[in-house]
A and B are shown apart, each in its own frame.
Chain A
Amino acid sequence: MHQPDDELEQELRRLAARAEPVPAELVQAAEDAFAWRDIDAEIAELVYDSLLDAEEASLVRGPAEQRMISFTAGGMTIDVEVTGAGPGRSVMGQITPPQRATVEIRHRQDTVTVEADELGRFRSGTLPPGPASLRLRPPPGAPGPPIVTDWISL
């Protein structure tokens, strides 16, 4: 350890804490995130996001391109296509194997509920940008726990 280095780093830390502290409303939001836990649900993990996992070359296309995201839980796959930019996004999804489900799209301001048809297809209306997660409930009478996807940023 070099003492002068530690002192200089501490000086920088003090400056950063004053000049650009963590906004208080974000600390509050992080505390509130705990309330979103759904301990009964199975998690559908994010396994593919074209934004990060697509070939570099395909990322330099125009702004209108769609983003493809896949989640898996057990034997189920949820493929989602996100379109739109600026203040409005929309989501189109496919559950595989195809099945009916109630899909709750949870986002910062609200929860939007849509139904997946017998082919496992669903689509949202306009959603605001920001954190979002899907929660799938099997139709009444069908077995199995609800499934929640990893949170993504729309």
Chain B
Amino acid sequence: MPTEPQASTAELVRRVAKGDRAAYFELYQRFADRVFGLALHITRHRATAEEVAQETFLKLWTAADSFRPEQGRVSAWLLTITRRTAIDRLRYEGRRPELDETLDIEADWLINLASGVSQSDEARWHSLYFALQQLPAEQRHAIALAYYFGLSHREIAGYLDIPLGTAKTRIRLGMEKLRDAWLSDASEQA
């Protein structure tokens, strides 16, 4: 169940849909670092990531009235737009995905105290990040190629030079481990 202050961020989006600039920049303040972080993670290029982040927030301005609170968090909606925009940019530029080989388990985790996100949510996401880094490299890479770079099963198999069935298995096994870690974390926090 979402624990972010839905009434707060969803209300801000409603106000943005009516042209409220103050609400818009409040949302920017809360989510810019996450949006830029995801854009940079996918594109691996700061200037491109800036442009992806700008496009994301411009889409927020023009499409705020399309957000439906019953479908999930504002942050997930924004990050989905970011992911889609970054992947399309990579595809258009014909750039090959760059997998990050460094196990950055203790990466600097920039906490935005003004984001309105609860500490328990931050902790769960940090744990999921840790669980992802703990996966066997072959499973982590397959999931990253699928989700962060938008490749299909066949494209992943081609990129990693493995059979199609192997690509499917690696994704399934990796996601099952992440699912178990995610659910285990939820029960610990309950």
Chains A and B belong together in one complex = no
